[in-house]
Amino acid sequence: MLHLRKGLAVAGIALAMTTSILSASSPASAAGRDGTCDSGEFCYYYNSNEAGSVSDFTESVDDYGTTQPTCYDFKGAGAGKGLCVKNNAASVWNRTSKTVTVYFNSDFGGATQSFAAGAKGNLNATLKNNNASHKIGSTDGGSFPADPRASSAIAWAKARLGHTDWNGQCEAFVEGAFGTQYKFGSATKHYEWQKANGRIHTGSVPPAGAAVFFTSTTADGHVMLSIGGNSAISTGPSVYQTSTFRQRSDYLGWAYVPSSW
Q: Is 28 left (phi over 0), alpha (psi -120 to 50) or beta?
A: beta
Angle between helical axes of 170-177 and 150-158 (0-180°, round to 10):
130
Phi and psi torsions of 236, nearest 5°: 170, -160
Say if residue 13's pLDDT is above 70.
Answer: no
User: pLDDT-derived band of residue 30, with 50, 70 and 90 as boundaries?
Assistant: low
**From-to residues of CATH 3.90.1720.10 in the chain:** 150-256
Nearest partner of 212 among 250, 255, 176, judged by Cα: 255
DSSP secondary structure letter of residue 96:
S
DSSP secondary structure letter of residue 82:
T
**How far is it, in rounded angstroms, from Cα 135 to Cα 92?**
13
**From-to residues of CATH 2.60.20.10 in the chain:** 42-136
Say which CATH superfamily domain 42-136 falls into.
Answer: Crystallins (2.60.20.10)
Q: What is the largest CA-CA distance in the chain?
A: 101
> What is the reported pTM?
0.51
Q: Give the per-residue pLDDT at 143.
A: 62
Say if residue 137's pLDDT is above 70.
Answer: yes
CA angle (122, 126, 128) in 5-degree steps: 40
CATH number of 150-256: 3.90.1720.10
Nearest partner of 203 among 89, 103, 92, judged by Cα: 103
Say if residue 15's pLDDT is above 60.
Answer: no
CA dihedral 112, 118, 122, 127 (to 10 degrees): 20
CA angle (246, 230, 98) in 5-degree steps: 80
> For residues 21 and 40, is the Cβ–Cβ distance under 8 A?
no
Higher pLDDT residue, 10 or 84? 84
| Helix or strand (DSSP H, E) at 109 | strand 109-115
> For residues 168 and 186, is the Cβ–Cβ distance under 8 A?
no
Residues of the chain above pLDDT 70, percent: 85
Q: State the CB neighbour count (10 A cutoff) for residue 163.
A: 13
By three-state DSSP, how is residue 84 classified?
A: strand
Rg (CA), the chain: 25
Q: What is the pLDDT of residues 163-217, one digit of tens each?
A: 999 999 999 999 999 999 999 999 999 999 999 988 888 867 899 999 999 999 9
| Long-range contacts of 238-241, Cβ-Cβ distance < 8 Å, separation of 24 or more | 238/162, 238/163, 238/164, 238/167, 239/157, 239/160, 239/161, 239/162, 239/163, 239/164, 239/166, 239/173, 240/161, 240/162, 241/158, 241/161
**How far is it, in rounded angstroms, from Cα 57 to Cα 142?**
22
Say if residue 139's pLDDT is above 80.
Answer: no
